Amino acid sequence: MTSSPANFVATAGVLFLVVCAVLGEEKRAWNIHGDAGVGNGVGTQTLGGYIADDRNKLSLDGLRSNGYQRGQVEYGRQILTDGTRSLTGHAGLSADNFGNQAKNFGLGYQDPKNSVTWDRSLQGPVRTDSFRGERTFWSTNDGRGTLGGYIQHDRNNFGMRNTHGGLSGTYRFP
């Protein structure tokens, strides 16, 4: 049986809304995101969401494309905070329809201008580490617009090394 991308997104979205309605409280936030498209003649659908409170976040994400399906669940927690600076941690699992499984975990530090993260992914014999640093150089007086940059280094236990960086700009419309 095949289903259209719209059915996939609608079905999973309704299920996630039901979970949010059952688990939700005033202090909890929730989000649903999804996309369906065709690129190079291959249809791809993504769907995910999260439910979070002040210190915890549980997220679910899925992808389906040309016979390939992958799902991921991740739990994140704010470990320490003083109101402006925080230390966070996360752990997750993913699996696909070909029997591949991966585990990931990491730590992060964030203050109003800087963030640093370390992530580790374990998939079979491959261990991949990612280190990322971000810095906000300028922000508007109302805090809606920012300019910043990042640098990231990835490596695995089979010799892969990759370092890249860039500039970013954001603006949040009222």
Question: pLDDT at position 31, please?
Answer: 81
Reference 62, options 53, 74, 54, 51; nearest CA is 74
Q: Give yes or no for residue 28 having a pLDDT over 80.
A: no
Q: Give yes or no for residue 14 having a pLDDT over 70.
A: no
The answer to whether 123 touches 100, Cβ cutoff 8 Å, is: yes
Whole-angstrom Cα distance, residue 133 to residue 157? 21
Question: pLDDT at position 81, please?
Answer: 93
Quickly list H helices, the chain. Answer: 5-23
Domain boundaries, the chain: 1-67, 68-114+125-173
Q: How many CB atoms lie within 10 A of CB 106?
A: 19
Average pLDDT, the chain: 85
Question: pLDDT at position 48, please?
Answer: 87
pTM of the predicted structure, to 2 decimals: 0.70
Kindly report, residue by residue over 119-173, the tens digit of the pLDDT: 999 998 999 999 999 999 999 999 889 999 999 999 999 999 999 999 989 888 8
Question: pLDDT at position 1, please?
Answer: 38
Residue type, 23: L
Instruction: Give the chain's end-to-end CA distance (angstroms, integer).
Output: 44
Q: Average pLDDT in the 78-91 region? A: 94
Q: Give yes or no for residue 29 having a pLDDT over 70.
A: yes
